[in-house]
Chains A and B, each alone.
Chain A
Amino acid sequence: MGVFRKGFYFFTFYLFFLLATNFFLEFLIEMDLFDNIHIFSVTELTRNIKNLLGRNFSDIYVEGEISNLSISASGHTYFTLKDEKSQLQAALFKGFNKKIKFNIENGLHVICFGEITVYEARGQHQIIVKHIEPKGLGALQLAFQQLKNKLQREGFFDKAHKKNIPYLPTKIGIVTSLKGKAIKDILNVINRRFSNLQIFIVPVRVQGKEAAKEIAEGILLINEHRKVDVMIVGRGGGSLEDLWAFNEEVVARAIYNSDIPVISAVGHDPDVTISDLVADLRVPTPSAAAELVVNKKQELQNTINNLFLRLNNIISGQLRFFDAKLKRLVETYFFKKGPQDILLYRQQRIDDFIKSMNNSVNYLMNLKSEKFYALIGKLESLSPLSILSRGYSITMKLKDKIIVKDFRILEKGDRIKTILGKGHVVSKVEDIKE
């Protein structure tokens, strides 16, 4: 009961107070004293609040999640920054937006830097964002990830799109800076080991604001020029910021659209740039790109030498075989009666070839290849002469002067000659079996 009474007293007092205030206001109006009291216009009040906020919240950081993102036709970006309980309108004007590398997306957790102001038309406070950073991840890393995802979706990294690097390019394009370490490294390798090469260098900036655009234009220029077999696009190592141009979409698109195969050579192993992912081939440094082609040259020289050795191998084996065969035939009574001059002529011709072969062999010896000596040894061991000395023999049908490889050419009673490691025997066929 006491509570009700207390409330009743209070209510009575309150009514009395209201009445008193009302009388007082009416009294003031009647007395024309209200002139001394300031009445704000809405605009004025809003502006005052704006100034007040501006003074107290001029350079502040605020953290939250992006939602309601919209980008106006004029290029300004608007979004709401929110956490569990509150929301804050945010505006990112075009001029500041340009400096931000990553894409602003709904749901992204960010830290904004800027000033609080009041949007007067709506009487709503908001933050004018001057800088924005993704929370947790660096802005550049996030930008890299975003572009990577986007290009992946568009199929930029597909193996099917990658072109083959020509086996022995003779014309090479290079898109890089003339001032950097990259060009010196590449030319060093090329000067040291390369030969029949034509190189076209398209000088571009590889760092700073204009770099990406210039690199992309350089790639396009080489495509328009249509003279090279392959191009190297790259620069020496540096920080993520230094290498940034190679992570820009415009460069990625230029590489993707290039008809000429592109080797990406950005010195920054083991990190990968977007350029590396799009390019037809990726190497860790510019000099590695140059060496890639050089090594192929060495490889080819080895292939040629190898073929040349095989060539000589076969021929010398065969020639020795024929030579031995001829010598033995000449020695036989049968041929002593035959047309000797033809035989001698043939022998001479073979001797000529042996001579020319020896010249070739000498040429190879001059290459001082250890491999060559090894092969010569093998050659010796495979020659028919050494085979004979190991106990094998060659059988000839005496009548037709042909080597017997098949029992079917022989008949019972045929005379055959067997050439041994030393000397030969003549015998008569008594039995033939398969």
Chain B
Amino acid sequence: MEDLKFEKALEKLEKIVEELEEGDLSLEDMLKKYEEGVNLSNICTKKLNQTKKKIKMLTKERGKFIEQDLKIEEEDRS
């Protein structure tokens, strides 16, 4: 479940909520769906807030891609 793509997870969550709102489920099924839904919404939130920021400079030299970490100098505010 953790490997689920964000879009897929969100789609699943939407479907579960709709199913529950239709209200044709037994109590047991409902609670199962509920658990799944809570889990999915946690996954979505987590995925959305994952912090993996990488800024690279991309150039090409002699047909080869070069990815370098980039440092942008802060503007001098003195």
Q: What residues of chain A have their CB less than 8 Å away from a CB belonging to chain B?
A: 167-168, 173, 178, 183-184, 187, 190-191, 194-203, 221-222, 224-225, 297, 300-301, 303-304, 307-308, 310-311, 314-315, 318, 322, 350, 353, 356-357, 360
CB distance from A216 to the nearest CB of B (A): 14
CB distance from A386 to the nearest CB of B (A): 18
Q: CB-nearest residue of chain A relative to B31?
A: A353
Contacts of B65 in A (CB 8 A): 221, 224-225
B interface SS class: helix
**Beta-carbon contact of B58 and A221 below 8 Å:** yes
Question: Which B30-78 residues sit within 8 Å CB-CB of chain A?
Answer: 30-31, 34-35, 37-38, 41, 44-45, 47-60, 65, 67, 70, 72, 75
Contact of A303 among B10, B49, B52 (CB under 8 A): B10
CB distance from A227 to the nearest CB of B (A): 8
**Beta-carbon contact of B13 and A195 below 8 Å:** no
CB distance from A143 to the nearest CB of B (A): 30
Given that A195-B53, A201-B58 are known contacts, is A184 also in contact with B75, CB under 8 Å in the complex? yes
**Beta-carbon contact of A300 and B56 below 8 Å:** no
Number of interface residues of B (CB under 8 A): 39
Contacts of A202 in B (CB 8 A): 57-59
**Can you list the 7 inter-chain pairs with the closest CB atoms, starting with the nearest?**
A196-B50, A200-B58, A308-B41, A311-B37, A314-B20, A195-B51, A199-B55
Contacts of B30 in A (CB 8 A): 314-315, 318
Contacts of B17 in A (CB 8 A): 307, 310-311, 314
CB distance from B51 to the nearest CB of A (A): 5
In the bound assembly, the distance between CA atoms of A303 and B14 in angstroms comes to: 9
Contacts of A197 in B (CB 8 A): 52-54
- 8 A-B pairs within 8 Å (CB atoms) are namely A178-B70, A190-B53, A201-B70, A304-B10, A304-B45, A307-B10, A308-B41, A318-B23
Q: A187-B55, A314-B21 are in contact. List 14 more A-B contacts (CB 8 A).
A: A168-B7, A184-B72, A195-B48, A195-B52, A199-B54, A200-B56, A201-B58, A301-B48, A304-B48, A310-B20, A311-B20, A311-B38, A353-B31, A357-B34
Contacts of B49 in A (CB 8 A): 195-196
**Beta-carbon contact of B38 and A308 below 8 Å:** yes
CB distance from B65 to the nearest CB of A (A): 6
Q: CB-nearest residue of chain A relative to B58?
A: A200
Contact of A304 among B13, B34, B58 (CB under 8 A): B13
